[in-house]
Amino acid sequence: MAKNIQAIRGMNDFLPADTAIWQRVEDVLKSVLASYGYSEIRLPIVEQTPLFKRAIGEVTDVVEKEMYTFDDRNGESLTLRPEGTAGCVRAGIEHGLLYNQEQRLWYMGPMFRYERPQKGRYRQFHQIGVEVFGLQGPDIDAELIMLNARWWKALGIADHVRLELNSIGSPEARANYRDALVAFLEQHKEALDEDCKRRMYSNPMRVLDSKNPDIQTLLNDAPQLGDYLDVESREHFDGLRALLDDAGIAYRVNQRLVRGLDYYNRTVIEWVTDSLGSQGTVCGGGRYDGLVEQLGGRATPGVGFAMGMERLVLLVQAVNPEFEPARNVDVYVIASGQGVQSAAMQLAEKLRDHLPEMKLMTNFGGGNFKKQFARADKWGARVALVLGEDEQKAGQVVIKDLRNGEQQTLAQADAAAALRTLLQ
């Protein structure tokens, strides 16, 4: 017997029971995005490798350790996208969407990183990302955070996430802070772990988000990034905080929050939770005013965030068990008797014409009424539509509410109106 071929480790199948709740969550996210006027953009999964090296930074964990990179048959280095912002910026430059224009975009799809698979962290994972171009004030930063907050409320998880934010200033301010931080780390080099020693000169600000508790204790005495902010960045951050205060959105300033990608400046944010164990970050992002120019476009301010869908779905399931997945079937059509199957199929088509939003499934494979009702229950149908020989001859149909067992017999011509009322 041939050996079974299985999915690659860390790259998971999503079965119908999984996709039902995913679709429900996605519907909520898309509805909120539409209410803010954001437009969808769809991007390639594979990009040229230099795009990510230039955007993310060569001395980052993502580029050094986690990217799926390969040469194609022409010898060109290609990479499965590890994140979405770089590709979105590339598309904006390539298609002339950015310079002297305002764009509010969102995307959703799979990303790839070679990480150790664990709950909430996978090698193929899915993100929804939002990117805004052409606006540089703190007001758009605040709107993105308000959009996040509206998501949490709609998903019933608002009490289980909290906002952390920081400003990492301008490139010049960060350079000054970097020098001060390196000087501090050099004085305590013997206390650093190997990972922090490696980062100390190549990317010292990444030491700030070390998960080592001993390093975090050491950093209590380190220089504070906020003390090195330039005037413009400080004013921008103060403006953002004032807008969040006015909106009633609680937050904590975390001066060690720097994010793991090199393109950020000024605002950085993370929404975190204590309900998913070690995988506490639900959503993160910030401002990247230099990225468009860095990738070959004209200077254009940008700000955005991305959220891992796997973690979001896990969080919704953990803290909001009443959140109902999308129903696969609203109405299940049951037919029995000589020549009735064809009539049932025709009736189903007419109902789809009148109720295009209704999810209607027709029973196939025969079976007595008991078996067909069992199938209706298996598919989670709310209503059964029953057509037997007597009903067909009389031009009637039985509609049964599977929640309370009530049923009615009515003319087939009235079935659409009755179903519309039942399914409201």
Q: pLDDT (tens digit, 9 = 90+) per residue, 398-421?
A: 999 988 888 899 999 999 999 998
pLDDT at 233 (0 to 100) = 92
Name the average pLDDT for the chain.
90
pLDDT in tens, 175-209: 888 888 888 887 877 777 877 777 777 777 777 77
pLDDT in tens, 24-38: 999 999 999 999 999
Residue 221 token pair: 């005495």
pLDDT at 279 (0 to 100) = 66
**Helix 194-202 × helix 171-187 angle, to 10°:** 140
pLDDT in tens, 12-23: 998 988 888 999
Between 221 and 410, name the one with better pLDDT: 410
pLDDT at 205 (0 to 100) = 77
The residue extents of the domains of the chain are 16-169+229-319, 331-422
pLDDT at 315 (0 to 100) = 94
**Taking residues 255-274, what's their average pLDDT?**
86
Beta pairing, strands 383-387 & 39-40: unpaired
Percent of the chain with pLDDT over 70: 99
End-to-end CA distance of the chain: 52
pLDDT at 203 (0 to 100) = 77
pLDDT in tens, 337-373: 888 899 999 999 999 999 998 899 998 888 888 898 8
3-state SS record for the chain: CCCCCCCCCCCCCCCHHHHHHHHHHHHHHHHHHHHCCCEECCCCCEEEHHHHHHHHCCCCHHHHHHCEEEECCCCCEEEECCCCHHHHHHHHHHCCCCCCCCEEEEEEEEEECCCCCECCECCEEEEEEEEEECCCCHHHHHHHHHHHHHHHHHHCCHHHCEEEEEECCCHHHHHHHHHHHHHHHHHCHHHCCHHHHHHHHHCHHHHHHCCCHHHHHHHHHCCCHHHHCCHHHHHHHHHHHHHHHHHCCCCEECCCCCCCCCCCEEEEEEEECCCCCCCCEEEEEEECCCHHHHCCCCCCCEEEEEEEHHHHHHHHHHHCCCCCCCCCCCEEEEECCCCHHHHHHHHHHHHHHHCCCCCEEECCCCCCHHHHHHHHHHCCCCEEEEECHHHHHHCEEEEEECCCCCEEEEEHHHHHHHHHHHCC
**Taking residues 383-406, what's their average pLDDT?**
90
Between 225 and 244, name the one with better pLDDT: 244
Write down the pTM of the prediction: 0.84
**Taking residues 281-288, what's their average pLDDT?**
94
Residue 240 has pLDDT above 90, yes or no: yes
The architecture that CATH gives domain 16-169+229-319 is: 2-Layer Sandwich (3.30)
Residue 124 has pLDDT above 90, yes or no: yes
Classify domain 331-422 at the CATH class level: alpha beta
pLDDT in tens, 55-73: 888 777 788 889 999 999 9
When pLDDT is cut at 50, 70 and 90, the band that residue 272 belongs to is: very high
Residue 241 has pLDDT above 70, yes or no: yes
Cα dist from 282 to 54, 102, 177, whole Å: 26, 27, 28
Spatial separation of the C-alpha atoms in residues 239 and 139, rounded to whole Å: 8
Residue 257 has pLDDT above 90, yes or no: no
pLDDT at 77 (0 to 100) = 96
